[in-house]
Amino acid sequence: AQRVTQPEKLLSVFKGAPVELKCNYSYSGSPELFWYVQYSRQRLQLLLRHISRESIKGFTADLNKGETSFHLKKPFAQEEDSAMYYCALSGSARQLTFGSGTQLTVLP
Amino acid sequence: DTEVTQTPKHLVMGMTNKKSLKCEQHMGHRAMYWYKQKAKKPPELMFVYSYEKLSINESVPSRFSPECPNSSLLNLHLHALQPEDSALYLCASSQDGGGANTGELFFGEGSRLTVL
């Protein structure tokens, strides 16, 4: 079975502050991890994936297999980063499992 | 065209009605998905089609019936639904290289269903 845990339902930070959205996973094989984002009134879209190892909109995420974590980080949050963020895992048989999501609010 | 298009955007139906949700993509993707999303909850996988064949059915009640007429289209036929089936139904597609991992999913905007 594959499972994704996002412990924070809500997260508020001030503009310019660092932000970290936590994600832990459970899967016995080699998973592929993703962060998806849903801005207000927009469709769910991919933010980044661990195999790309790239920074998108200033966000980065490192897969830590020892801690089974894939936390999303940004050094300086912007107001336009306010959105719902979902961590997701793809393991067996084309199943993409989402975590429960973290609603990020960046305050002015 | 790099979008997944879903119709209708909104649907209200009674418990005895029969209706269908439609999804279309022209990105050449060979995997298509139906997800159900309740308010303030993550999307939950319902069905996966790979190369037009149903590969995953997540124990969805038979009142939901998926159909994949061709590689660009995905339908979800609805019959005798219950009020608790009211939700946002999301369609998605992905390349599907044949491996276990899904790769990037491209989502539609969803069809918001209300069952009275």
Q: What is the dihedral of CA B110, B86, A38, A27, to 10 degrees?
A: -110
pLDDT greater than 90 at residue A16: yes
* Residue in chain A lying closest to B57 (CA): A95
- Measured CB to CB, residues of chain A less than 8 Å from chain B are 31-32, 34, 36, 43-46, 49, 86, 90-101
How far apart (Å, rounded) are the C-alpha atoms in residues B33 and B77? Answer: 14
Tens digit of each residue's pLDDT, chain B (116 residues): 679 999 999 999 988 889 999 999 999 998 999 999 999 899 999 999 988 999 888 889 999 999 999 989 999 999 999 999 999 999 999 987 556 566 789 999 999 999 99
pLDDT greater than 90 at residue A52: no
How far apart (Å, rounded) are the C-alpha atoms in residues A95 and B55? Answer: 10
Token output for B98: 């044949």
CA distance B16 to chain A (A): 30
* SS3 category, A41: coil
Residue B84 contacts A where some CB pair is shorter than 8 Å: no
Residue B93 contacts A where some CB pair is shorter than 8 Å: no
Is A94 within 8 Å of B41 when comparing Cβ atoms?
A: no
pLDDT greater than 70 at residue A84: yes
- Please report, rounded to a whole number, the percentage of residues in chain A having pLDDT higher than 70: 97
Beta carbons of B77 and B65 less than 8 angstroms apart:
yes
- Please report, rounded to a whole number, the percentage of residues in chain A having pLDDT higher than 90: 69
The per-residue pLDDT of chain A, averaged, comes to: 92
Distances (CA, A) of B61 to A26, B34, B54, B77, B89: 27, 14, 15, 12, 15
* Residue in chain B lying closest to A4 (CA): B42
**pLDDT recorded at residue B99:** 60
Is A43 within 8 Å of B41 when comparing Cβ atoms?
A: no
How far apart (Å, rounded) are the C-alpha atoms in residues A103 and A80? Answer: 13
CA distance B109 to chain A (A): 5
